[in-house]
Structure 1
């Protein structure tokens, strides 16, 4: 059968980061569209330069999905030039529960984040909201495949709800266990699973904490009986490794973007599963 789309049409949906790409792939399953990942999982979404090939991807895309300026500030200009085919937080945000960045009351930070926290996909409820909103957007783009997109979204929602129930049961015994993180990128997960987040050591995880901060961490560990510290795998743990060993704290990674996971439809599931397992391992140790 000859497609109603011209040969010039690419039928591509370009997605900036791996978690959104994974969820987009679920919506597009068995459709005429394919999801293309703009940034590999080793690239920082905060400060990168687009290659000519990536600019062509964006130019040829039928739709561009991104997390927004609070995560991908270097894309703001080019996204503003392609507003007619951009699907961002402004379009799907109403389907999500969005939190502002948390204020770090415990430690002096090198700078404070402003605006909304972009890591919304770490909440299973938000993941479902995003997928439903994208299915609606794709249905408007291609009404002929409307039922396929909506059915794919329903399948995703059912699977996520089932998984979330299991993860909640697994973490339920530990909701009072206090923990700290190197960098605060996980509040959506904290809220959904009712976890006892105490503080983030730094706004910028690439900077070593100063002597004053180390003293305050020591005081916090003692007063709150902290036994777990988490850091993202893409950042060096060297700035806090000595402190962790000295205090005999449990240390595991939490991953917000799938840094060590193969991109694709299963990434979002592997990402959530891995984080839940690492939380459980540290809390139960």
Structure 2
């Protein structure tokens, strides 16, 4: 890591709490709410990172505000998932945040990245239930191949070598990301290194407990088929053995064709899928069109924790919230 340059920003601009013990040279930003939560957990009782994508905004189609560009210009460390998710940060990190260091957590040691799936394919068979009940930081990637990305109205071409960026939805990845955050902060701010590492140990233990609780909660609904708005959930599905049968679109920016909607409706009928999930970041009307004439119910998945208050607890809360949403919609009606 390059030598940390002395940077001073107001507490209001950086989102830093007043009276914190963090080094005056350190200013920390996080891109999206799940990343912010992990960074905030590691920085507990030291400082609070700033957040770029707030509320229910989507990182897939975000534009920086002038105040955020100013914060980037003065930032020491910027934690983000990476090029495949926060595309709005690609150029600013090169042209604005020139004095800081950006950390792509998708590339952190121990993080498993999966190739995009073809939203037109039956993905149920990819979700074996026996190989995801483990505690290490990686999956066995044998058997995974690059998903096909033909321009068939299901989404856009993600580019050769692109991987699914929703890595935080596997708690094993979140633990690996947490440890990397702690080491990065410890190098940049050695006086607080011990606290960062202890906070990371506490957070990873909490994530492990959460993983066990979610696994038990979702075990009864593993075989219930469902459809999602866009294919963002394979990390969660593979970890907990869930049975997605299709996605309306690969990319939330792409509007599915009438033929695609009809295809999903047929798939719901053929597979007996019991639920179609929307997301708070996108218009739910499309999901209502998809379920018309089918017995499927609707639910909402929030992979960003957009409705939750920003805090170090947000990651665990959003994962528990997703588990509840799956269970509530997939459980057989009484």
TM over 0.5: yes
Q: Which residue of 2 aligns with 1:262?
A: 309
- The total of aligned residue pairs comes to 279
Deviation for aligned residue 1:116 = 1.1
Deviation for aligned residue 1:208 = 5.3
Alpha-carbon distance in structure 1 between the residues aligned to 2:106 and 2:171? 20
| Closer, same or farther: CA 215–120 of 1 in aligned 2, 3 Å | same
Q: Is it true that 1:18 corresponds to 2:33 in the alignment?
A: yes
The aligned runs of 1:209-248 (5 Å cut-off) are 209-248=256-295
Alpha-carbon distance in structure 2 between the residues aligned to 1:259 and 1:183? 16
| Closer, same or farther: CA 211–124 of 1 in aligned 2, 3 Å | same
Q: Which residue of 2 aligns with 1:80?
A: 94
Q: Is it true that 1:185 corresponds to 2:200 in the alignment?
A: no
The runs of 5 or more residues in structure 2 that have no matched partner are: 9-23, 122-151
Deviation for aligned residue 1:238 = 1.0
Q: Is it true that 1:141 corresponds to 2:188 in the alignment?
A: yes
Alpha-carbon distance in structure 1 between the residues aligned to 2:272 and 2:309? 36
Q: Which residue of 1 aligns with 2:131?
A: none
The runs of 5 or more residues in structure 1 that have no matched partner are: none
Alpha-carbon distance in structure 1 between the residues aligned to 2:114 and 2:6? 42
The aligned runs of 1:72-111 (5 Å cut-off) are 72-81=86-95, 82=97, 84-89=100-105, 91-92=107-108, 94-106=109-121, 108-111=153-156
Deviation for aligned residue 1:6 = 6.9
| Residue pair 1:209, 1:239 contacting (<8 A) in 2 also | no
Identify the range of structure 1 (172-181 vs 74-83) with the bigger mean alpha-carbon deviation: 74-83
- Summarize deviations over 1:14-44 as a string: whole Å, max 9, x none: 111111001100000112x321112212322
| Closer, same or farther: CA 89–29 of 1 in aligned 2, 3 Å | closer
- Summarize deviations over 1:102-150 as a string: whole Å, max 9, x none: 1223474142334111111111111111000110111111222111111
| Residue pair 1:41, 1:257 contacting (<8 A) in 2 also | no
Alpha-carbon distance in structure 2 between the residues aligned to 1:35 and 1:187? 28
Taking structure 2 as the reference length, the TM-score comes to 0.78
Deviation for aligned residue 1:181 = 0.7
Matched position secondary structure for 2:249: coil
Identify the range of structure 1 (80-89 vs 65-74) with the bigger mean alpha-carbon deviation: 80-89
Q: Is it true that 1:113 corresponds to 2:158 in the alignment?
A: yes
Deviation for aligned residue 1:10 = 5.2
Taking structure 1 as the reference length, the TM-score comes to 0.90
Query: Match for 1:170 among 203, 217, 220?
Result: 217
Matched position secondary structure for 2:260: helix
Query: Match for 1:37 among 47, 51, 59?
Result: 51
Alpha-carbon distance in structure 2 between the residues aligned to 1:156 and 1:96? 16
RMSD of equivalent CA atoms: 2.1
Identify the range of structure 1 (94-103 vs 108-117) with the bigger mean alpha-carbon deviation: 108-117
Alpha-carbon distance in structure 2 between the residues aligned to 1:48 and 1:206? 11
Alpha-carbon distance in structure 1 between the residues aligned to 2:39 and 2:105? 14
Alpha-carbon distance in structure 2 between the residues aligned to 1:69 and 1:146? 28
Alpha-carbon distance in structure 1 between the residues aligned to 2:252 and 2:72? 30
Q: Is it true that 1:274 corresponds to 2:321 in the alignment?
A: yes
Higher helix content, 1 or 2 = 1
| Residue pair 1:17, 1:41 contacting (<8 A) in 2 also | no
